[in-house]
Structure 1
């Protein structure tokens, strides 16, 4: 299933043609502003200890943008994968590597189970960071774009099961960040997940890549929405977001030409916390 906007949320092998683009220094080489320790930065819990929600980084002169990719796969889509449907997108990952674009991949536990070698490779690459997108990709609230709903009593275990799947796949040091399936949450859900210690990560720019076939339209929508500190939501799922890799090839040089620097979500969260 694919993430779309919701009001409660505030809402890959390339050829030689990419060589010139890939020659620029990788933004990932810059440390996060709060990198005084090896522990990933998180936001301070909200009132009453609620799970904090992050939507974008500081709107300052430092023109950073975080590309995030949801590796979606629901708990019951194994038969579709076995029949040949591709929920991964290795060409997209290769494109990000060739262009030296750091990114945050919000991965479901089911995706990690289906593609353990790819999950492990993404997690081992310093260009990327792996974060939690639930195990099942079931919704955490009702009325969430037709997604099945996880029982309230199983929400924490669904998040924890995803981390267990990452460990089983060999993903080292997944980030303490969580993205709600469908972007759907409410105050009660934030209270329920508080003991997990995660920071919920949403976005402020919707790429529109879900089921899109026009990569230029996806790139244009991102370019029109990006501001300093933006978090862009995209997808790492071939079957449901076939235009994403082409859109990334188009928008990366455009953003760099406008002075934007690509960072991971952890760097933006670190910058936000450093300002408090």
Structure 2
């Protein structure tokens, strides 16, 4: 749950609990390059991506076309860092199986941006999500280090490690059995600059941001979270939420309120790939 930008700054100041969303583990070691999705995937064609930006920079996607029908993509960040294993062992829950079950019950397609460390901690869940056609899994880095300085108090990954952090996450996803992680990447904290876009450009990803902030980070009022989403959604919107029980305990309840109301308003839920396909002319 990346709360409204001001809220996220407060999130990061919450100390040990805030670390579940923003702290990062040790710097990742360099890793072999991730194979092109078309080679690694069993799908007949490469998932849609945006064309590179100026000077070949990684393209950034925030929302789909506003005039292509009432579609909306719910996205969920599955956050866990390399140093949080002991906390998980003591019973802290960085997963949220109830949320995933609710999405299945409601038949809501969704995109899960998963850190490599989360996938390593919850391999069976990562594999089940990755193999469920209702969902698609995308990359949220391995370590959840920030890719810029001054990103809500996050420690930063050095410029020469940025590409390796993205590639290491794809490797972790493959190792736990996620067969076709999408070529989409969400920067930790949503923070990026030209250096970061240049650093990850060789991975071939499209960076995915959002235009609706749910405010579910550390929220205690599910109705308020739901209202933030309902007030912000427009055709083609990308909503950012979280899949972390200890840091986003109200998300499941909020989703159960959001989904029927948006459907009543005529919205259709889609994955990010469908919105990117519409934006790039691939539908």
TM bucket, shorter chain: 0.7 to 0.9
What is aligned with 2:249?
A: 242
In structure 2, what is the Cα distance between the partners aligned to 1:85 and 1:3?
20
Distance in 1 (CA, whole Å) between partners of 2:191 and 2:256 is 29
Deviations 1:146-166 (A, max 9, x none): 111111111010000000000
1:82 deviation in Å? 1.2
The reply to whether residue 63 of structure 1 matches residue 70 of structure 2 is yes
Tell me which residue corresponds to 2:2.
3
Question: Structure 2: how far apart are the matches of 1:155 and 1:88?
Answer: 25
Alignment of 1:193 with 2:200, yes or no, is: yes
Give ranges in structure 2 of 5+ residues lacking alignment.
7-42
Note if 1:138 corresponds to 2:145: yes
Paired residue for 1:91?
A: 98
Alignment deviations for residues 38-66 of structure 1 (CA, whole Å, 9 cap, x no partner):
31000000010000000000001510000
Shift of 1:6: 4.8
Displacement after TM superposition at 1:221 (Å)? 0.4
Match of 1:177 among 173, 181, 184: 184
Deviates more, 1:73-82 or 1:171-180: 73-82
* Shift of residue 74, structure 1, vs aligned partner: 1.4
Taking structure 1 as the reference length, what is the TM-score of the superposition?
0.87
Q: 1:5 to 1:47 in 2, by over 3 A?
A: farther
Question: Which residues in structure 2 correspond to 1:75-86 (within 5 Å)?
Answer: 75-86=82-93
Residues 212, 233 of structure 2: 8 Å contact kept: yes
What is the CA RMSD across the aligned residues, in angstroms? 1.6
Is the contact made by 1:207 and 1:232 (CA closer than 8 Å) also made in structure 2? yes
**TM-score for both structures, normalised by structure 2:** 0.85
**CA-to-aligned-CA distance 1:215-272 (integer Å, 9 cap, x gap):** 0000000000000000000000000000000000001000000000000000000000
Distance (Å, rounded) in 2 between the aligned partners of 1:60 and 1:85: 43
> SS in structure 2 opposite 1:104?
strand
Larger mean CA deviation between 108-117 and 75-84 belongs to 75-84
User: Could you tell me how far apart the structure 2 residues matched to 1:232 and 1:100 are?
Assistant: 17
Instruction: Structure 1: give runs of 5+ residues left out of the alignment.
Output: 8-35
Structure 1 residue matching 2:200: 3-state secondary structure: helix
Q: How does 1:106-255 map to 2 (within 5 A)?
A: 106-255=113-262
SS of the counterpart of 1:274?
coil
Classify 1:49/1:61 alpha carbon distance in 2 versus 1 (closer, same or farther; 3 Å). Answer: closer
Does the 8 Å CA contact 1:6/1:183 hold for their aligned counterparts?
no
Q: Runs ≥4 in structure 1, deviation > 6 angstroms?
A: none
Cα deviation for residue 4 of structure 1 reads 4.1
Q: For residue 56 of structure 2, what is the aligned residue in structure 1?
A: 49
Distance 2:70 2:131 in 1: 27
Residue by residue, what CA displacement relative to the aligned partner does 1:172-196 show, whole Å, maximum 9, x if unpaired? 1000000000000001110111101
CA contact (8 A) 1:55 1:201 kept: yes
d(CA) in 1 for partners of 2:54, 2:261: 40
